[in-house]
Chain A
Amino acid sequence: MLDQPEETHGDGVAPELKDREVLLSVNNIEVIYNHVILVLKGVSLAVPKGGITALLGGNGAGKTTTLKAISNLLKSERGEVTKGSILYRGERVQHLSPSDLVERGVIQVMEGRHCFEHLTVEENLLTGSYTRKDRAAIADDLDLVYSYFPRLKERRKSQAGYTSGGEQQMCAIGRALMSRPETILLDEPSMGLAPQLVEEIFGIVKSLNENEGVSFLLAEQNTNVALRFAHYGYILESGRVVMDGPAKALRENADVKEFYLGMSDEGRKSFRDVRSYRRRKRWLA
């Protein structure tokens, strides 16, 4: 089985974050949609405080489902966690509503931005503070968000539906920040954005992580960018974690290069080879 990637597993934490507290731990969860469709078949992962943890994999690998299982947006899509446990700061959070989780500091930024189109950018940001009671601090946080995303300040009075894709992504991240989160579950921030904007957004994610101490669990198809900014990575394939390790190690791994970065020892591979490779792999898997 030459083309089957070797399963290798790390110890769940990047070397530089070794002594950090683990905020979120997902233990062997199984997710079923509509009572029949098994999507996750035993996913485990850990998110340390102050780290950026990447969840990688192709379409349908289960990245979004994992995030939604954590934030509990699954329920509104008729999905449920049938096995395993999800702990946040040691507390089981499977039965909490999304708003309970937001109050505990876990918020999801959904794939495809999902801004409130007919609300202005500023109103969008303010909806992020829905669960908070401390009115005075909300105004300060609005300024903080604007300092990270000056573009949003320029457009604060325009309807979010009429802003550009990059601005909408910023709006969605800013909205999440308004809840004063401890952990942001960020789903596919690069989707549909120009490479330059992707760099800009990831740069902001990095500085939020470093300056504000926000932890990120990041689902991303763009393996290259994600591994450059993350501390630790998990690679999902058809609902299972097939490999995990510190981002640096993953970047160097031959299989990851082959399957996800489109590189091999001989340099860049032609697309035709990659495709046949992937197809045969499915057969064997």
Chain B
Amino acid sequence: MPDQLLFAMEVSLNGLMTGIMYALVALGFVLIYKASGIFNYSQGVMALFAAMTLVGIQEGRVPFSHLINSIFGTHITEFGFEVPALLAILLTVAVMIAFALFVQKFVFRHLVGQEPIILFMATIGLAYFLEGVSDLMWGSEIRQLDVGLPQGINGAIDNATFEALGYGFFIDNLDISAAIIAAILVAVLIAFAQYTKQGRAMRAVADDHQAALSVGISLNYVWILVWSLAGIVALVAGVMWGSKSGVQFSLSLIALKALPVLMLGGFTSIPGAIIGGLIIGMGEALFEFVVSSNDLFGAWFGFTFSATENWFAYVLALAFLVFRPQGLFGERIIERV
């Protein structure tokens, strides 16, 4: 049985790492939802767009080359130089900020004071629009993303655990860097929200739009700010997922995995998104491990399940919706009687 225990530990650790990847996507949702009450369906596509832009810039490809070529009959595809990773990342951040400006100027500025459902519908439209733009801009081929993050199994952990426990844990280097980056990102975001003037304005807008307006906070500015932050978070998520599984259109579907994370952690809590992600990641990995194992589940029930990862998170989220609708860390609804 200790063997099983060791396996379970390794599975949980890997689950935690996957959970952080989910949390990165969920974080983008939380930022926008908190500050504007908009549930941003396009967050996943933003991650895709950010990753594609990053790859495109890195490889020095010409944006909209298909379009340009078919209009002018030219054959340009590449500039013929490669952009170093760091510079490419900075340029992509600039693109995401430009996107935030665009969204605010052409979409949400005109929808101030509308019902949440209308804003939600607008983000669905935005998601498809952005998916189309990504395709038009960079083409639809699957691309490898490499910004110099370490790949492969971490040898040190493997050796250390082998010596201590007689069984080496396989943990991906990429997952470890994702965890570190996520931790830094969350710390920075929380510090920003709690201790800076703009962060305070952001939280004020989240609480009461009208009152924020009345003290002279510009909603437009704060919303551009949060969409930019969400864009940067989307970039980080896109880089992580893109490095893991290649940059392709299915990347936008990771947004769906963020939903149960949000329900668990609460739509309005930054730490909630992280902890929700960890619980979902570890929960689904452990659950899969137990119910698909012949020695554990099979020995008691005589049959096993598999591919539970596809639905486990959603069932867990459903249970949370019934018993604790604001999530683990969601803002308590303050109701004075």
Chain B interfacial residues counted at CB < 8 A:
24
Q: Is the CB of B207 within 8 A of A102?
A: no
Q: Is the CB of B216 within 8 A of A99?
A: yes
B198 to chain A, nearest CB (A): 9
Q: Is the CB of B210 within 8 A of A130?
A: no
* Contacting residues, chain A, for B214 (C-beta < 8 A): 71, 73, 98, 107-110, 114
B151 part of interface (Cβ distance < 8 Å): no
Q: Is the CB of A115 within 8 A of B211?
A: yes
Interface membership of chain A positions 144-174, coded 1 if the CB is closer than 8 angstroms to chain B and 0 otherwise: 0000000000000001011001000000000
Q: Is the CB of B204 within 8 A of A119?
A: yes
* Contacting residues, chain A, for B207 (C-beta < 8 A): 116-119
Counting chain B CB atoms within 10 Å of each CB, the highest count among A98, A165, A176 belongs to A98
Q: Is the CB of A116 within 8 A of B210?
A: no
Chain A interfacial residues counted at CB < 8 A:
34
> A78 to B115, alpha carbons, bound, how many Å?
13
* Contacting residues, chain A, for B212 (C-beta < 8 A): 116, 127
* Contacting residues, chain B, for A97 (C-beta < 8 A): 218
Q: Is the CB of B216 within 8 A of A76?
A: no
A178 to chain B, nearest CB (A): 8
- What is the count of residue pairs linking A and B with beta-carbon distances less than 8 angstroms? 84
Interface membership of chain B positions 198-209, coded 1 if the CB is closer than 8 angstroms to chain A and 0 otherwise: 001101101111
> A22 to B224, alpha carbons, bound, how many Å?
38
Q: Is the CB of A179 within 8 A of B216?
A: yes
The answer to whether A118 and B334 touch (CB under 8 A), given A77-B113, A78-B113, A102-B216, is yes
Q: Is the CB of A130 within 8 A of B197?
A: yes
Q: Is the CB of B208 within 8 A of A117?
A: yes
Q: Is the CB of A99 within 8 A of B217?
A: yes
The B194-237 residues at the A interface (CB cut-off 8 A) are 197, 200-201, 203-204, 206-219
In the complex, the chain A residue whose C-beta lies closest to that of B220 is A97
The A63-78 residues at the B interface (CB cut-off 8 A) are 71, 73, 76-78
In the complex, the chain A residue whose C-beta lies closest to that of B114 is A78
Q: Is the CB of A119 within 8 A of B112?
A: no
Q: Is the CB of B331 within 8 A of A102?
A: no
Q: Is the CB of A76 within 8 A of B213?
A: yes
Interface membership of chain B positions 167-185, coded 1 if the CB is closer than 8 angstroms to chain A and 0 otherwise: 0000000000000000000
A21 part of interface (Cβ distance < 8 Å): no
The answer to whether A102 and B215 touch (CB under 8 A), given A76-B209, A116-B207, is yes
A and B contact pairs by CB, cutoff 8 A, 24 listed: A76-B112, A76-B113, A76-B210, A97-B218, A98-B213, A99-B217, A102-B216, A107-B216, A110-B214, A114-B208, A114-B211, A115-B208, A116-B208, A117-B207, A118-B206, A118-B207, A119-B200, A119-B207, A123-B203, A130-B201, A159-B334, A161-B334, A179-B215, A179-B216
Having A99-B216, A114-B210, one finds 20 other A-B pairs with CB under 8 Å, namely: A73-B213, A76-B113, A76-B219, A97-B218, A99-B213, A102-B215, A107-B215, A110-B211, A114-B211, A116-B203, A117-B208, A118-B203, A118-B331, A119-B200, A119-B207, A123-B203, A126-B197, A130-B215, A161-B334, A162-B336
**Chain A contact residues, CB within 8 Å of chain B:** 71, 73, 76-78, 97-99, 101-103, 107-110, 114-119, 123, 126-128, 130-131, 159, 161-162, 165, 175-176, 179
